[in-house]
Homo-oligomer: A and B are copies of this chain.
Amino acid sequence: MAIKVTVWNEFRHEKNSEEVKAVYPNGMHTVIAEYLGKEADFDLKTATLDEPEHGLTDDVLNNTDVLIWWGHMAHGDVQDTIVEKVKRRVLEDGMGLIVLHSGHFSKIFQALMGTTCALSWREAAEKERLWSVMPQHPILEGIPLYFELEHEEMYGEFFDIPTPDELIMLSWFKGGDVFRSAACWVKGAGKVFYFRPGHESYPTFYNENVLKVIKNGVRYVNAPAGMSKIDHRNAAAPIEEL
């Protein structure tokens, strides 16, 4: 059965900045969706902020197994009702969620983490080296023990997230910082995967390792086909004699 993937992008930088447009003329979501679309069992859609309901109508959400989220300059423009729907879909139905880069400050990520999700940052086009600390994790299938991005925005600790259920990669930055760059959390019936790279000014989403991690992430956060529906009326378990 196909995995229904929706790539959501704020899609503002690509329209407002010549520099960004040069790198992603049709938006980052298009580049990601094209790569993922090569998987025979992935069924791809995209959605963006400025579409009605941000492209996340009930019909789209109910037909999404895994949602990928990139946002940055317009987190505040995302309607709370849509955020609430996405959250419910993760917690109650087990929709998988992958949050990329500056999505760390999105309403949906903050709501699911329960923390500020604040971090340190620096734009200096510096080198990033990503190290595996859980090499047997399915998200790292086909990924070397480390790989590099020549130019990226720096994200540094302290990163205000809850303790990850799985800490998968750490980043080294040339300027002197480290970061927990790939991490997963179980949330209700669903799984959330945060992956750090992806500044809009750099061609990060053309990097083969970055793309592979996202592809593996889709398979990982997708709920098992035969998952038992969580039913909180299940106190209906037969009561032992008291």
Contact = CB atoms under 8 A, between A and B. Distances in A.
Given A174-B242, A224-B136, A240-B175, A122 B158 contact: no
Contacts of A127: 240
A164 B188 CA distance: 13
Interface string A128-145: 010111111110111111
A140 B91 contact: no
B187 A114 contact: yes
A118 B154 CA distance: 29
Q: Which of A124, A162, A237 has the most CB of B within 10 A?
A: A237
Contacts of A186: 134, 136, 162-163
Interface stretch (A50-58, A68-76, A165-173): A165-173
Interface string A200-242: 0000000000000000000000011111101111110111101
A160 interface: yes
17 contacts: A114-B114, A116-B188, A122-B235, A122-B239, A124-B242, A129-B176, A131-B178, A132-B158, A132-B228, A133-B180, A136-B189, A136-B191, A136-B227, A140-B227, A145-B157, A174-B242, A177-B237
| 5 closest A-B pairs by CB | A120-B235, A114-B114, A142-B226, A176-B240, A141-B224
Interface of A: 91-92, 94, 111-116, 118-122, 124, 126-127, 129, 131-138, 140-146, 154, 156-160, 162-163, 165-167, 170-178, 180, 185-191, 223-228, 230-235, 237-240, 242
